């Protein structure tokens, strides 16, 4: 048989598209042609596939004219994940495996020169794309089999070498090493959860484990800031902490993930898909399913593509998307470039990021919780007494002016923190409330939100659009009067009123009440505060 066909997957952002991989061995001058809009790394697959087959003791059609077509031709294809599908199509075309052995399968994997099948990025969205297209059999690198098995209803075969792939196609035992398992999972509850025996880890996983081990009781004093952190965790609200160095801003931000409930199955798959495309999942065995809200804390020198995603050739998610369903913490926020901060305004409203380039436009999910931390002035020594600060009033205004008004208008909660006092340092640590107690209240409040928002696409109060709040859960005039009067005076924007009402609903949920009252709205207004202008 001189013509064979199988399937691969082209990734565009976090979305996969099924691709027909056709191999034709024709008569004529020996050559190799790869068509179908491949990029440079994919064009180099010829040398990888040829060396992998030869070094595995298999044939390479050196006397034939080899044409490999990737269809649809108008869809850009990138990366080395097509190596395995190309090798399978060539092997079938020259009769080394039974006809049609790979026609009903999707193959994803990179080949080493010695014939090993290496791990690739984006296995989870690739297998999900195959499932949506009706394909029920996928072949992936053995190291990625657990990730692929997160997609229900798909038979996953993990292979370690090309020779193992050929043996499986022939119905033979693999010639070397233990056979990789064939995995069929229809229920996510059967998967091992991260942190259990045999689960995989990565540097990002280890960092998240550390954040979930720290305790809110470690924070000295700062009762108001601790309470607003609880409110932010319960309602998914964005938070700005303003205060001198050493006040505990970073400590509070790092303890926020520990207050958040675990991700449900849908959110876990969304988060894992983003991290799969970014290549940050663990590879040591077990399941890489991420079940805890992620935490991202980029350095203030990060560029716009590093935060919102992008790249010159392959468009990959940035820190904002890696924080999807979790926390994005910007420490020393005024030190970030203005373009970086303003690039966050759109995802704060829409929950997604669209990266447009000349060759492609991709969408990344980015429904994160933003936490900003800033000093009150460039030197950072401004306190209630200003004893050591030498910054002029204009210098302070310019410094905080780097946080634009439109960005601050999207921040629900703002707190000016004081420096830790001697009484705070020598207070009784046993009297401080820990993460477990606060997380229990957050979970109870989330339960009340879930009951109220059942049947809607929103999970927490911060996600509910303002027009829906006014239509479905409209509050009486006497409850919202103070907020709307501030709107009339120009001290609050229409967006600001909506955000105050959302915070008021969260305060009521934390208190166990069915609806917020005027006191909740007043506390929400006070918690919104102002760092340099009313908003």
The domain ranges of the chain are 3-186, 203-368+429-438, 464-528
Binning pLDDT at 50, 70 and 90, where does residue 445 land?
very high
Residue 422, pLDDT above cutoff 60: yes
In terms of phi and psi (left: phi > 0; alpha: psi -120 to 50; beta: otherwise), the region of 395 is alpha
Q: What is the mean pLDDT of residues 221-226?
A: 90
Residue 176, pLDDT above cutoff 60: no
Q: What is the pLDDT of residues 260-290, one digit of tens each?
A: 999 999 999 999 999 999 988 865 445 689 9
Binning pLDDT at 50, 70 and 90, where does residue 225 land?
very high
CATH for 3-186, among 3.20.10.10, 1.10.3210.10, 3.50.50.60, 3.30.230.10? 3.30.230.10
Q: CB of 202 within 8 A of CB of 210?
A: no
Q: What is the mean pLDDT of residues 72-100?
A: 94
The backbone torsions φ and ψ at residue 471, rounded to the nearest 5 degrees and listed phi first, read -90, -45
Which segment of 10-19, 100-109, 523-532 scores lowest on mean pLDDT? 523-532
Residue 453, pLDDT above cutoff 80: yes
Classify residue 155 by its DSSP letter: E
Residue 204, pLDDT above cutoff 70: no
pLDDT value at residue 207: 56
Distances from the Cα of 491 to the Cα of 241, 273, 521, angstroms? 21, 42, 15
pLDDT value at residue 283: 52
Q: What is the pLDDT of residues 475-507, one digit of tens each?
A: 999 999 999 999 999 889 999 999 999 999 999
Sheet holding 295-296, edge to edge: 295-296, 327-330, 369-374, 239-242, 413-416
Which segment of 151-160, 215-224, 440-449 scores lowest on mean pLDDT? 215-224
Query: Could you tell me the pTM of the whole model?
Result: 0.88
Binning pLDDT at 50, 70 and 90, where does residue 214 land?
confident
Q: Does domain 203-368+429-438 have CATH number 3.40.50.1100?
A: no
The DSSP H or E segment spanning 295 is strand 295-296
**Among 208, 197, 162, CA closest to 50:** 162
Q: What is the pLDDT of residues 133-148, one digit of tens each?
A: 999 999 999 999 999 9
The DSSP H or E segment spanning 238 is none
Rounded to the nearest integer, the mean pLDDT of the chain is 88
């Amino acid at each position: 048989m001189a013509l064979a066909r199988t399937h691969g997957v082209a990734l565009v952002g976090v979305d996969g598209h099924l691709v027909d991989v056709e191999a034709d061995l024709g008569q004529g001058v020996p050559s190799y042609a790869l068509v179908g809009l491949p990029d440079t790394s994919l064009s180099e697959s010829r040398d990888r596939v040829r060396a992998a087959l030869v070094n595995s003791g298999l044939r390479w059609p050196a006397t034939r004219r080899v044409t490999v077509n990737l269809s649809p031709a108008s869809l850009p294809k990138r990366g080395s994940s097509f190596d395995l599908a190309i090798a399978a199509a060539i092997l079938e075309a020259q009769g080394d495996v039974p006809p049609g052995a790979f026609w009903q399968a999707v193959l994803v994997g990179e080949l080493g020169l010695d014939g090993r099948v290496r791990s690739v990025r984006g296995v989870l969205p690739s297998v999900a794309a195959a499932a949506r297209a009706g394909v029920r059999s996928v072949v992936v690198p053995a190291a990625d089999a657990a990730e692929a098995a997160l997609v229900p209803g798909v038979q996953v075969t993990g292979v370690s070498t090309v020779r193992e792939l050929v043996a499986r196609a022939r119905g033979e035992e693999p010639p070397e090493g233990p056979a990789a398992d064939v995995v069929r999972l229809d229920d996510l509850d059967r998967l091992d959860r991260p942190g259990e025996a045999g689960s995989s880890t990565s540097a990002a996983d280890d960092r998240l484990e550390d954040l979930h081990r720290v305790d809110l009781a470690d924070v000295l004093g700062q009762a108001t800031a601790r309470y607003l952190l609880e409110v932010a965790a319960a309602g998914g609200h964005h938070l700005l902490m303003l205060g001198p160095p050493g006040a505990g801003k970073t400590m509070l931000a790092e303890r926020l993930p520990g207050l958040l409930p675990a991700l449900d199955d849908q959110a876990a798959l969304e988060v894992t898909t983003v991290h799969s495309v970014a290549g940050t999942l663990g590879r040591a065995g077990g399941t890489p399913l991420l079940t805890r809200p992620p935490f991202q804390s980029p350095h203030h020198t990060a560029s716009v593509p590093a935060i919102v995603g992008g790249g010159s050739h392959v468009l990959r998610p940035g820190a904002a998307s890696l924080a999807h369903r979790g926390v994005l913490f910007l420490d020393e926020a005024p030190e970030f470039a203005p373009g970086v901060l303003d690039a966050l305004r759109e995802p704060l409203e829409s929950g997604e990021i669209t990266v447009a380039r000349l060759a492609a436009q991709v969408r990344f999910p980015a429904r994160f919780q933003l936490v900003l931390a800033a000093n009150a002035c460039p030197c950072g020594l401004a306190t209630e007494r200003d004893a050591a600060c030498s910054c002029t009033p204009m210098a302070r205004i310019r410094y905080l002016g780097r946080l634009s008004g439109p960005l601050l208008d999207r921040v629900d909660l703002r707190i000016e923190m004081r420096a830790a006092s001697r009484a705070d340092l020598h207070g009784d640590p046993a009297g401080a409330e820990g993460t477990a107690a606060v997380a229990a209240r957050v979970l109870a409040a989330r339960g009340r939100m879930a009951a109220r928002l059942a049947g809607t696409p929103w999970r927490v109060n911060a996600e509910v659009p303002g027009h829906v709040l006014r239509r479905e859960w409209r509050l009486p005039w006497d409850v919202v009067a103070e907020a709307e009067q501030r709107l009339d005076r120009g001290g609050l924007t229409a967006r600001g009123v909506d955000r105050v009402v959302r915070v008021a609903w969260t305060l009521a949920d934390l208190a166990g009440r069915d609806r917020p009252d005027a006191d909740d709205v007043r506390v929400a207004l006070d918690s919104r505060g102002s760092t340099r202008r009313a908003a």
